[in-house]
A = this chain, B = another copy of it.
């Protein structure tokens, strides 16, 4: 009690964010150079007048941010090459469009049940006999094409999709709300629009478009694989 009151008076607020900021600054100021070992948690706790758990939380955040590297017994080091990370949010397309102030609409272009196409079978190591629902659709913002989507949904994993009217709710939105996934992967690239894509996006063939390829799983079961071709001019932003 006595100690705590003292701290409050001398250092005002103590929180793990505060501690983290102090350590961050000491790293930025080169007090500990890249590659250096920094003091142990207990030592820092004593220096900074807080509990070890608080220092631990601060350091875990810094490790997460890629500034330091921690190993039991070996201690904590300032990274030689700090790894910065950009976090991109993956929004529901309808919300993304609406948040930009535009009116959203989407249209199904194709819908049929197919066996696993060879291109996917290899990449997703899926049985060639698997039944997939193949959907193509275009999403519009203010009646202008925004995104052309080519999607495969694994029927065995998500049997309920058989009864969904995808004219009402996009597959994207329905899946996000009804088929929670455990993990997945994303690839982002740039491609020249094919003639089909150019037609659907009402742009010229060869225009540079952002393409996102995304696959999601529930445990070991594939849920969906989708290729998203955004209309020219699409940009993704992130703070770092």
A residues near B, CB below 8 A? 27-28, 34, 66, 80-92, 95, 176-177, 180, 183-192, 206-211, 214, 216, 218, 230, 232-240
Chain B residues with CB under 8 A of A81: 92, 95, 176-177
* List of B residues within 8 angstroms of A207 by Cβ: 192
Cα distance A85–B90 when bound, in Å?
Answer: 6
Taking a contact as CB atoms closer than 8 A, the residue among B86, B191, B211 that contacts A87 in the complex is B86
Measured CA separation A232–B192 after assembly (Å): 10
Q: Are A235 and B189 in contact (CB under 8 A)?
A: yes
Q: Which of A81, A86, A210 has the most CB of B within 10 A?
A: A86
Complex contact A186–B90 (CB within 8 A): no
List the number of copies, as a whole number: 2
- Write the chain B residue with the least CB distance to A236: B188
Cα-based distance from A191 to B190 in the complex (angstroms): 8
Q: Bound state CA distance, A83 and B86, in angstroms?
A: 15
18 contacts between A and B (CB under 8 A): A66-B89, A81-B95, A83-B90, A84-B89, A85-B88, A85-B89, A86-B186, A88-B88, A185-B237, A187-B236, A187-B237, A187-B238, A188-B235, A188-B237, A189-B233, A190-B190, A190-B232, A190-B234
What separation, in Å, do the CA atoms of A209 and B206 have in the docked complex? 12
User: Does A27 contact B180, Cβ atoms closer than 8 Å?
Assistant: yes
When C-beta atoms are compared, the residue in chain B nearest to A191 turns out to be B208
Contacts of A190 in B (CB 8 A): 190-191, 208-211, 230, 232, 234
Shortest 7 CB-CB contacts between residues of A and residues of B: A190-B190, A208-B208, A190-B208, A28-B180, A189-B235, A84-B90, A190-B210
Taking CB as reference atom, which chain B residue is nearest A92?
B81
Q: Which residues of B contact A92 (CB under 8 A)?
A: 81
Whether B185 contacts A238 by the Cβ 8 Å rule is yes
State which of B185, B187, B216, B240 has its C-beta within 8 Å of the C-beta of A186: B240
